[in-house]
Amino acid sequence: MLINCVAYENGAKLADIPVEDISEYISRAGCFVWVALSDATPEELAEMQKEFDLHPLAVEDAQHGHQRPKVEEYGDSLFVVMHLIEPSTDDEGAHSVNVGEVNVFVGKNYVLSVRNRSQQGFLGVRERCEREPDLLRNGAGFVLYALMDAVVDRYFPVIDALEVELESIEQQIFAQGGAARDKIKQLYDLKRRSLTLKRAVAPLVEAAGKLHGGRVPQICVGTQEYFRDVGDHLVRINGSIDAVRDTIATAVQVNLSMVTIEESEVTKRLAAWASIFAVCTAFAGIWGMNFEHMPELKFRYGYAMALGLIVSTCGYLYYRFRRVGWL
Amino acid sequence: MLINCVAYENGAKLADIPVEDISEYISRAGCFVWVALSDATPEELAEMQKEFDLHPLAVEDAQHGHQRPKVEEYGDSLFVVMHLIEPSTDDEGAHSVNVGEVNVFVGKNYVLSVRNRSQQGFLGVRERCEREPDLLRNGAGFVLYALMDAVVDRYFPVIDALEVELESIEQQIFAQGGAARDKIKQLYDLKRRSLTLKRAVAPLVEAAGKLHGGRVPQICVGTQEYFRDVGDHLVRINGSIDAVRDTIATAVQVNLSMVTIEESEVTKRLAAWASIFAVCTAFAGIWGMNFEHMPELKFRYGYAMALGLIVSTCGYLYYRFRRVGWL
Amino acid sequence: MLINCVAYENGAKLADIPVEDISEYISRAGCFVWVALSDATPEELAEMQKEFDLHPLAVEDAQHGHQRPKVEEYGDSLFVVMHLIEPSTDDEGAHSVNVGEVNVFVGKNYVLSVRNRSQQGFLGVRERCEREPDLLRNGAGFVLYALMDAVVDRYFPVIDALEVELESIEQQIFAQGGAARDKIKQLYDLKRRSLTLKRAVAPLVEAAGKLHGGRVPQICVGTQEYFRDVGDHLVRINGSIDAVRDTIATAVQVNLSMVTIEESEVTKRLAAWASIFAVCTAFAGIWGMNFEHMPELKFRYGYAMALGLIVSTCGYLYYRFRRVGWL
Amino acid sequence: MLINCVAYENGAKLADIPVEDISEYISRAGCFVWVALSDATPEELAEMQKEFDLHPLAVEDAQHGHQRPKVEEYGDSLFVVMHLIEPSTDDEGAHSVNVGEVNVFVGKNYVLSVRNRSQQGFLGVRERCEREPDLLRNGAGFVLYALMDAVVDRYFPVIDALEVELESIEQQIFAQGGAARDKIKQLYDLKRRSLTLKRAVAPLVEAAGKLHGGRVPQICVGTQEYFRDVGDHLVRINGSIDAVRDTIATAVQVNLSMVTIEESEVTKRLAAWASIFAVCTAFAGIWGMNFEHMPELKFRYGYAMALGLIVSTCGYLYYRFRRVGWL
Amino acid sequence: MLINCVAYENGAKLADIPVEDISEYISRAGCFVWVALSDATPEELAEMQKEFDLHPLAVEDAQHGHQRPKVEEYGDSLFVVMHLIEPSTDDEGAHSVNVGEVNVFVGKNYVLSVRNRSQQGFLGVRERCEREPDLLRNGAGFVLYALMDAVVDRYFPVIDALEVELESIEQQIFAQGGAARDKIKQLYDLKRRSLTLKRAVAPLVEAAGKLHGGRVPQICVGTQEYFRDVGDHLVRINGSIDAVRDTIATAVQVNLSMVTIEESEVTKRLAAWASIFAVCTAFAGIWGMNFEHMPELKFRYGYAMALGLIVSTCGYLYYRFRRVGWL
């Protein structure tokens, strides 16, 4: 679906143009065209390929989808794939993340973005660019930066949410008596989501590194500091993800420790009560024997003494177990 | 076993040729020969070695088999080894993977592929190449690309199947009361298969990197973007394998946690019931003692009171255990 | 908030100058200006940007805060971000670390430091620099070194405190009968704090490496050995953090082992006592049976013999369990 | 002990020569001397050092032994250390590996191999070389290749044996009721042996890399493809070792899981039987009380009813436990 | 404390010289001075700094101590820090390691070694050097080698001791019934000591690499093969440490497995005995009931039959448990 197709000159919007005029505009010097598609059909992509003379392998990737994030040079043009991470909550309150994709084809005087399986548009990016003609004058390279920056900025709330969730689980881990099962499940879910985010960010860190420092593609010359900034954000997010993952790993282990500790405490309590009652039952059993000559059975206060002995023995045991912390 | 032996000129099929004419055709300019063998005998390999003037070490590797995936340069020619991964299910429904191997010898004007221990042929690749003479005109390098692409494309369903299987195990892990033993076994099997796949893919990632970017073998010049595409697919698969392996590791740990948690719950339940019955037995034991002077034994409603006391104590305990979640 | 704003010439303080004169002073040869801000408002940063002609991306980073430690070159100037780690103890005695941030903009003849969310100032650094005019003559590069050195020196007590705390936990782990739960919690807290420290130090190690060895920014030429010294301190701290983290990981595992061992000991003791009492109860139960013809019940010393048998059997069991170490 | 000492010219054996003539032969052009020692005495080494003019540090290493595998250049000559891994089985059937060592000194026209603490000789290598004069004409470099190839080829059966053993343990792990203790011990032994092999292979991978690709020692020029082949074998073995080690790590974890699962099952069974008997004992205890007014005791079929109640309750419990899989 | 201060010329000792003459001697061509200090005071260091014109940062490091091992170039001179590892045993037989430090300043014609917190001197090194004037003629670089070699050689017995200790623990792990608690503690101690050693060796491996291969400091030119030898020893020790650490990690895990297995066995035994006695008690309980009409109670051999039934049931259970290995 075509979102929009606009020609720019000297950083200012020239006009919304029909798709078939694209090749005409991009042949003018100092002019560039910025097209946005969403969930493009093969036909739309084929048309774009013709207008912009895109490389067949890049178009194939865009059409096939499910690429890993990357930056590829095809001659003078760039093909950039980024993941769009959107947290979602299902009806039962379970958190998950939806992974969309944006493919950006950038040439000397055109930018084509194709967004797939994602709710979030890039209209805001276009508006912001149009408000800053000084920067937009940098051409297609700057538009690529603006798109990357927008995508990367949307990762921040996702990782922040993971961190908040992790902290809330942590607090529960050390709170006694919670449902260990649920905590494990939550940690596992968190791990999975952090992995999804990791797979969006880590390859992009490396790919973005090609756009600044050392030899950079012609398109990025002059805007390298902007790309370094994006790269820096990515490294930061990547670091946060790694920290979250590291902490999750420890939390899983700690949770297991807590379960084992709790089990150990239950075992001790079980052992303590079992001992107390076993003593009681053993005494009662002895005086329940049917020997004829058991003098204490005849005593006036035999029963009271027996009860006293049983109660005091059990009481003493209780006191002892209490002191060593088993009860 | 010879599958076929065809000469090509300018991207078009010239003719099926007999093996002994190979050396003649490959001396013609603009002409190349593409031979496919399957489970070749030493004699066939020796003949090929003579016709194509192959390096003895490469031939030895092909004959010996069980090589790790690699790309080796012998002068102007290339020797490529790739694993063919075929999932299989035995009679008892246990999944496993069969590892075949394809050895490709590529020179300026010949391609020789030797397929071992695998059911899957490459006839489709040849057909597709012959349908695109424009690309086939690129010569032996393009054929190598087409073969690598076909091999790598066959990895995708394998890793997809692993992911699907892993997800199904995951759902079982958190379902209460399943057979922990089976889950562990499945995870272990999954781990092994992912390792097999990993060993097919990881070395190939590195090896494929030699065919694009920086200095590439003469044969690949002009088709580097195609090899980069193959390399990119490999990196993607490799990433997926790593993700699967990472998730399996966590799943094993989580499964152990679930078992420990379940054991802990059983211990609690055991402790609770043991307490209840111990109390009951202890009371009964006391009134079963044979002291002469136990006034309550003479009471009209002594027995009823005793039963009442026992039942209400046990009931109270039951209620308490219920509240703390042990029962 | 402006802390101070001083012009220096030939290593000696020239004068406290008003902010609006900065641009005048930095245009004089051999003269440099050193400004310190604390929790700067956007307006203050905007003013500084104008006076020093700072790069907008760097200013944006400083304003936004929460950057990861880094050293970035913008043309001839440097932008350095460092974390300020301040240990703090809350009312309940729980340890935590407060992460502040200092952003340093360094140009040929100016240094601007912006400190955020931190109690610790850098007045001491300025005083020390002013006492050593020989070194201060090196200009802005030396001031950057002095600031970095001060920040890094403040990491040492933090890591030392972690090491001391870890050692104290270690001693508790092997002391029998402690509260395993607390130890786990402490280790987990320690892990988190070491992670915070790690995230302050590790990126800085890499970043500081750019300031000595190989090509260094123009500003650092002539003071490279000082920057190497800072880098060396960072590597040392990083090594200590890694050692602490490694030890924590082992300690968590060891603690779990200790819990399991303790549980195992409790299980053994439980088993031992259960056996002893079960024997006692079983004997008593047998002589409590109501058969008419149980000759021993009529014996004069039947009861005494029964008691003797019970006690000696239990005693023997006790002795056996004692010997195998279960009791 | 001198094994043999032979002079070669143009790939053909010239003569067995006495040690004292070595220096004479190696001064002839086109002629090289190949000496093999086994468990050499310091005197023998000193003589060789004099004849071949070996570097003192290399001789010291050879004499001292217990070096890690390495390839060192001393001027134009090479000093190569490799481990010889020999599996052995002691009287009790426990597997272990014996680590021998071979030191090879290679110069322009000599090869000296010193074998220590190993049963396996290299006579076969010499014979094979002598049968292929075309290859042997390459001189000392080719002999080095032949020796390395022989050593590396002997690693294959060792790693194969480890893999077979691992697979047999794996099958036992999932077989119920085996001796967990033995499996752990076997896995641990396997781990140790794989570590020994790893330490033989991993450094050699790196060292062998110096003999092909990029700048290679003069001695290896012209035989680089052979050394690449050896290097490739080493990488393959290294990959197999890593896979074995990875699988062992998982197997240890899985074995622990299996033990925990089995314990959990035993706990459940224990809990089930304990409940059943506790119910039985509690009922019996109640009717064993000595209250005067317990009407059911007087019933004609009181006893039968009691037995019936006890049996049916226990039976019902048994059925329930059976259904939930605890029994 | 000054140990000695000697001038050398042409590899031979010239004279013991007073400290104040140092600067005079080092200005003579072909002459170098070798000074050894032990636990130097700030004043001594300041004097040395003046005599040798040492860099203030290096002197500061030496004075402050607790540096990590490193090799730093200051212009033409080198500053080397190495750890001295001395195993010690406290009164209770607990092993620990004492970490001393040696700082070496090396210039074109001087060597200054400062030893801190260590009992071991380097007199032997000086003697050995003086006995080999041919080598000592290489000057300050050779002395640096001799010192490094001596330090590194002292690491070997430390790592050997760790290996021996580890092996002794291993044997205990698989011996049944040992004190798991002690083994864990020993492994933990071993881990800590290996970490200390690791931190002494690992940075030195990297640092020593700067002294041979590629561009080396002027001082080391001509003695590179000696430094490579030291580097090789370090790599070997480092490998051994890594192997020890790897094995410890597995041993901790295996020990935990053994504890769990033992607990599982105890649980089984407990379950078995509990069942046997529960059966016995249940039977006894039934015949202890007070029903009036329990015909078997009147039987002549009722008691004998009851006992027989109880004993044979228990005996059968015992036999069954024995067979499945629970008893």
**In chain D, which residues have their Cβ closer than 8 Å to the Cβ of B180?**
257, 261, 264
Q: Convert the pLDDT of each residue in E108-148 to its tens digit.
A: 989 999 999 888 888 889 999 999 888 898 889 999 999 99
Q: Report helix, strand and coil shares of chain C as percent, to nearest 5.
A: 60, 20, 20
Among A255-269, B17-31, C222-236, C292-306, name the one with the lowest average pLDDT. Answer: A255-269
Instruction: Please tell me the distance from the alpha carbon of residue C237 to that of residue D147, in angstroms, as a whole number.
Output: 47
Instruction: Enumerate the H helices of C101-216 as residue ranges.
Output: 123-131, 133-136, 140-153, 155-174, 180-209
Q: Which of A225, A254, A291 sits opposite C252 (nearest CB)?
A: A254
Per-residue confidence (pLDDT) for residue D88, from 0 to 100: 83
Per-residue confidence (pLDDT) for residue E176, from 0 to 100: 67
Q: Which residue of A has its CA nearest to C308?
A: A286
Q: Is the pLDDT of residue D90 over 80?
A: no
Band (A104; pLDDT cuts 50, 70, 90): very high
**In chain E, which residues have their Cβ closer than 8 Å to the Cβ of C229?**
57, 61
Contact D266, E267 (CB under 8 A): yes
User: How close, in Å, is residue D10 to chain B by CA atoms?
Assistant: 22
User: How close, in Å, is residue D49 to chain E by CA atoms?
Assistant: 17
User: How close, in Å, is residue A233 to chain C by CA atoms?
Assistant: 8
Residue with tokens 């419990």: D317
What angle in degrees, to the nearest 10, is found between the helix axes of C155-174 and C180-209? 150
C263:E263 CB<8 A: yes
Task: Look at the alpha carbons of A273, A279, A282, A287 in this order and tell me if their dihedral is positive or negative.
Answer: negative
Q: Convert the pLDDT of each residue in A288-317 to its tens digit.
A: 998 888 888 888 888 999 999 999 999 999
Tell me what the mean pLDDT of segment A27-38 comes to: 90
Contact B68, D239 (CB under 8 A): yes
Which of A172-186, C98-112, E213-227 has the highest mean predicted lDDT (pLDDT)? Answer: C98-112
Per-residue confidence (pLDDT) for residue B173, from 0 to 100: 86
| Touching partners of C (3+ C-beta pairs < 8 Å) | A, E
Instruction: Please tell me the distance from the alpha carbon of residue B74 to that of residue D229, in angstroms, as a whole number.
Output: 11
Q: Which of B185, B262, B278 sits opposite D264 (nearest CB)?
A: B262
Tell me what the mean pLDDT of segment D67-95 comes to: 88
Q: Which residues neighbour C19 within 8 Å (Cβ) at sequence distance 6 or greater?
A: C2, C5, C35, C47, C48, C51
Q: Is the pLDDT of residue D121 over 90?
A: no
**In chain B, which residues have their Cβ closer than 8 Å to the Cβ of D279?**
277
Contact B72, B44 (CB under 8 A): no
Instruction: Please tell me the distance from the alpha carbon of residue C80 to that of residue C31, in angstroms, as a whole number.
Output: 22
Element (H, E) at A37: strand A31-38
Q: Is the pLDDT of residue B96 over 90?
A: no
Per-residue confidence (pLDDT) for residue B295, from 0 to 100: 87
Return the percentage of chain C with pLDDT > 70, whole number. 99
Per-residue confidence (pLDDT) for residue D23, from 0 to 100: 86
**In chain E, which residues have their Cβ closer than 8 Å to the Cβ of C174?**
181, 185, 188
Band (D177; pLDDT cuts 50, 70, 90): low
Contact C244, C166 (CB under 8 A): yes
Among A30-39, B257-266, D46-55, D86-95, name the one with the lowest average pLDDT. Answer: D86-95
Contact D7, D17 (CB under 8 A): yes
**In chain C, which residues have their Cβ closer than 8 Å to the Cβ of A270?**
270
Q: Is the pLDDT of residue A179 over 80?
A: no
Q: Convert the pLDDT of each residue in E252-302 to its tens digit.
A: 888 888 888 888 888 888 778 888 888 888 889 889 998 888 888 888 888
Q: Which residue of C has its CA nearest to E61?
A: C229
Q: Convert the pLDDT of each residue in E162-183 to its tens digit.
A: 999 999 998 888 876 667 788 8
Per-residue confidence (pLDDT) for residue A172, from 0 to 100: 87
Return the percentage of chain B with pLDDT > 70, whole number. 99
Per-residue confidence (pLDDT) for residue B178, from 0 to 100: 62
Per-residue confidence (pLDDT) for residue E296, from 0 to 100: 87
Q: Is the pLDDT of residue C198 over 70?
A: yes
Contact B162, B170 (CB under 8 A): no
Element (H, E) at E131: helix E123-131
User: How close, in Å, is residue E61 to chain C by CA atoms?
Assistant: 9
**In chain D, which residues have their Cβ closer than 8 Å to the Cβ of B199?**
239, 243
- Say yes or no: domain D262-323 is CATH 1.20.58: yes
Pull the structure tokens for residue E243: 């192997």
Pull the structure tokens for residue C144: 């950057």
Q: Which of C226, C232, C285 sits opposite E288 (nearest CB)?
A: C285
Q: What are the phi and psi torsion angles at C285 (to 5°)?
A: -60, -40
D235:B68 CB<8 A: yes
Instruction: Enumerate the H helices of chain A as residue ranges.
Output: 22-25, 42-52, 56-64, 123-131, 133-136, 140-153, 155-174, 180-209, 224-287, 302-323
CA torsion angle for C43, C45, C46, C50 (degrees, to 10)?
140
ipTM: 0.82
Q: Which of E246, E268, E279 sits opposite D266 (nearest CB)?
A: E268
Q: Is the pLDDT of residue B71 over 80?
A: yes
Strands E31-38 vs E110-116: parallel, antiparallel or unpaired: parallel
Q: Which of A180, A256, A297 sits opposite B290 (nearest CB)?
A: A297
Band (E237; pLDDT cuts 50, 70, 90): very high
CB atoms within 10 A of CB C47: 17
Residue with tokens 């006579």: D123
Q: Which residues neighbour D221 within 8 Å (Cβ) at sequence distance 6 or greater?
A: D141
User: How close, in Å, is residue C83 to chain E by CA atoms?
Assistant: 23
Q: Which residue of E has its CA nearest to C251?
A: E188
Q: Which residues neighbour C89 within 8 Å (Cβ) at sequence distance 6 or greater?
A: C95, C96
Per-residue confidence (pLDDT) for residue D178, from 0 to 100: 63
Q: Which of D192, D274, D290 sits opposite E247 (nearest CB)?
A: D192
CATH topology of domain C1-153: Beta Polymerase; domain 2 (3.30.460)
Contact E129, E143 (CB under 8 A): yes
Q: Convert the pLDDT of each residue in A219-278 to its tens digit.
A: 888 888 899 999 999 999 999 999 999 999 889 888 888 888 888 888 888 778 888 888
Q: Which residue of A has its CA nearest to C200?
A: A239
Q: Convert the pLDDT of each residue in B279-305 to its tens digit.
A: 888 889 889 998 888 888 888 888 999
| Touching partners of D (3+ C-beta pairs < 8 Å) | B, E
User: How close, in Å, is residue A321 to chain C by CA atoms?
Assistant: 12
Which of B218-222, D99-103, D131-135 has the highest mean predicted lDDT (pLDDT)? Answer: D99-103
Tell me what the mean pLDDT of segment C294-299 comes to: 88
Per-residue confidence (pLDDT) for residue B177, from 0 to 100: 62
Q: Which long-range contacts (CB under 8 A, 24 or more apart) does E294-300 make?
A: E294/C290, E294/D303, E296/C291, E297/C290, E297/C291, E297/C292, E298/C292, E299/C291, E299/C293, E300/C293
Tell me what the mean pLDDT of segment B84-95 comes to: 81
CB atoms within 10 A of CB A320: 14
Q: Is the pLDDT of residue A67 over 70?
A: yes
User: How close, in Å, is residue A101 to chain B by CA atoms?
Assistant: 15
CB atoms within 10 A of CB B218: 14
CB atoms within 10 A of CB C27: 9
Phi-psi group of B117: left, alpha or beta (phi > 0 → left; psi -120 to 50 → alpha; rest → beta): left
A285:C290 CB<8 A: no
**In chain C, which residues have their Cβ closer than 8 Å to the Cβ of A282?**
277, 280-281, 284
Q: Convert the pLDDT of each residue in D290-317 to its tens digit.
A: 888 888 888 888 899 999 999 999 999 9
Q: What are the phi and psi torsion angles at E152 (to 5°)?
A: -65, -40
E274:C270 CB<8 A: no
Per-residue confidence (pLDDT) for residue C176, from 0 to 100: 67
Q: Convert the pLDDT of each residue in A127-170 to its tens digit.
A: 999 998 988 988 899 999 999 999 999 999 999 999 999 999 98
Task: Look at the alpha carbons of A140, A143, A144, A145 in this order and tell me if their dihedral is positive or negative.
Answer: positive
Q: Which residue of E has its CA nearest to D199?
A: E239
Q: Is the pLDDT of residue C148 over 90?
A: yes
Instruction: Please tell me the distance from the alpha carbon of residue A233 to that of residue A225, in angstroms, as a whole number.
Output: 12
User: How close, in Å, is residue A42 to chain B by CA atoms?
Assistant: 20
For A175, C99, C187, the CA distances from C95, given in Å and listed in that order, are 18, 13, 12
E281:D281 CB<8 A: yes
**Residues belonging to chain C:** 327
D264:B259 CB<8 A: yes
**Test mutation, A173, A250, A253, A324, chain C, max C CBs within 10 A:** A250
The rounded Cα A325 to chain-centroid distance in angstroms is: 42
D264:B269 CB<8 A: no
Q: Convert the pLDDT of each residue in D238-297 to its tens digit.
A: 999 999 999 998 898 888 888 888 888 888 887 788 888 888 888 898 899 988 888 888
Q: Which of C67, C68, C281 sits opposite A285 (nearest CB)?
A: C281
Chain mean pLDDT for chain A: 89
Per-residue confidence (pLDDT) for residue B49, from 0 to 100: 93
Q: Report helix, strand and coil shares of chain B as percent, to nearest 5.
A: 60, 20, 20
Q: Which of C281, C293, C324 sits opposite E281 (nearest CB)?
A: C281
Of the candidates A215, B296, E283, the one whose C-alpha atom is nearest the C-alpha of residue C291 is E283
Q: Which residue of B has its CA nearest to A70?
A: B232
**In chain E, which residues have their Cβ closer than 8 Å to the Cβ of D76?**
none
Q: Convert the pLDDT of each residue in C42-69 to its tens digit.
A: 999 999 999 999 999 999 999 988 888 9
Per-residue confidence (pLDDT) for residue D237, from 0 to 100: 95
Q: Convert the pLDDT of each residue in B137-161 to its tens digit.
A: 888 999 999 999 999 999 999 999 9
**In chain E, which residues have their Cβ closer than 8 Å to the Cβ of D72?**
228, 232
Return the percentage of chain A with pLDDT > 70, whole number. 99
DSSP E67: P
Q: Which residues neighbour E241 within 8 Å (Cβ) at sequence distance 6 or greater?
A: E159, E162, E194, E197, E198, E201, E202
Instruction: Please tell me the distance from the alpha carbon of residue B288 to that of residue B306, in angstroms, as a whole number.
Output: 11
Contact D238, D205 (CB under 8 A): yes
Domain boundaries, chain B: 1-153, 262-323
Q: Which of D61, D188, D287 sits opposite E289 (nearest CB)?
A: D287
Element (H, E) at B242: helix B224-287
Per-residue confidence (pLDDT) for residue A180, from 0 to 100: 79
User: How close, in Å, is residue B279 to chain A by CA atoms?
Assistant: 7
C289:E301 CB<8 A: no
Band (B176; pLDDT cuts 50, 70, 90): low
Band (A114; pLDDT cuts 50, 70, 90): very high
